[in-house]
Amino acid sequence: MGNEQPKIPQATAKRLPLYYRFLKNLHASGKQRVSSAELSEAVKVDPATIRRDFSYFGALGKKGYGYNVNYLLSFFRRTLEEDEVTEVALFGVGNLGTAFLNYNFSKNNNTKIVMAFDVDERKVGTTVGGVPVYHLDELEERLHENIPVAILTVPAAAAQALTDRLVAQGIKGILNFTPARLNVPNHIRVHHIDLAIELQSLVYFLKNYPTSSEKGENHT
């Protein structure tokens, strides 16, 4: 209760980086204020949802005036810890893992993959996208407490055993791109990203809700 802002619902929290990126661009172009309609057009979230999202942190906006871009930016910078870089470790330097390393969240200033692990001797000892690749046997030696997040792009059969080792090393969050459903203690946060299911879901909504583009945004 001593915090200066109330707890934000998870659905809203997931939209914050989207708003933040657009607001940074607005700020860079010198714009001082923005309406919920303008934001809606840019980020494809309906204006009522945007107004509700913003109301959680006291940005109520004014009719005919909109929202103060500087106020919103300062809020997002605090909330998303823009000034504090979160270091990430990646496991599995296959096609998807390599793509992540080369991209390395270049549009995000607050997350950075700093090390990667694999078992392929041809990859171990190399760098991909400037990130060093270590052997998985070195996990306990290399992974330190300042790296709270792991990305898993390993074969599904290897995912649980690897997760157990990560938990033992103090990892706090896992972005899981494997089909495996991971068992972790309650204090560990896991986000499962199954690209095949996401694609199947998209095709389903295209077929069954062909004119419902706004609603489709809320199904993720």
Q: 91 lies in which domain range?
A: 86-196
Domain of 131: which CATH number?
Answer: 3.40.50.720
Residue entry with tokens 């809020």: 75
Which of 62, 78, 94 lies at the terminal end of a domain, its last residue? 78
Structural domains in the chain (count): 2
- 96, 38: one domain: no
> In the prediction, which pLDDT does 62 show?
64
Q: What tens-digit pLDDT sequence spans the chain (220 residues)?
A: 344 455 678 888 888 888 888 888 888 888 888 888 888 998 899 988 988 888 877 766 666 678 888 888 887 777 776 557 889 999 999 999 999 999 988 766 678 999 999 999 999 999 999 999 999 999 999 998 899 999 999 999 999 999 999 999 999 999 999 999 999 999 999 999 988 888 998 998 898 887 654 444 444 4
Domain-embedded: residue 218:
no
| Cα 184–Cα 80–Cα 194 angle in degrees, nearest 5 | 40
Asked if residue 92 belongs to a known ligand binding site, the reply is yes
Structure tokens at 73: 């930016």
Computed from CA positions of residues 26, 110, 84, 164, in that sequence, does the dihedral angle turn out positive or negative?
A: positive
Give the closest residue to 56 by CA, choosing from 2, 7, 4, 3.
Answer: 7
Asked if residue 97 belongs to a known ligand binding site, the reply is yes
Residue entry with tokens 């204090």: 187
Helix axes 10-28, 36-43, angle to 10 degrees: 100
Asked if residue 93 belongs to a known ligand binding site, the reply is yes
130: left (phi over 0), alpha (psi -120 to 50) or beta: left
Give the count of beta carbons closer than 10 Å to the beta carbon of residue 208.
8
Domain-embedded: residue 214:
no
Asked if residue 64 belongs to a known ligand binding site, the reply is no
Asked if residue 173 belongs to a known ligand binding site, the reply is no
What are the φ/ψ torsions at residue 5 (nearest 5 degrees)? -135, 150
Asked if residue 72 belongs to a known ligand binding site, the reply is no
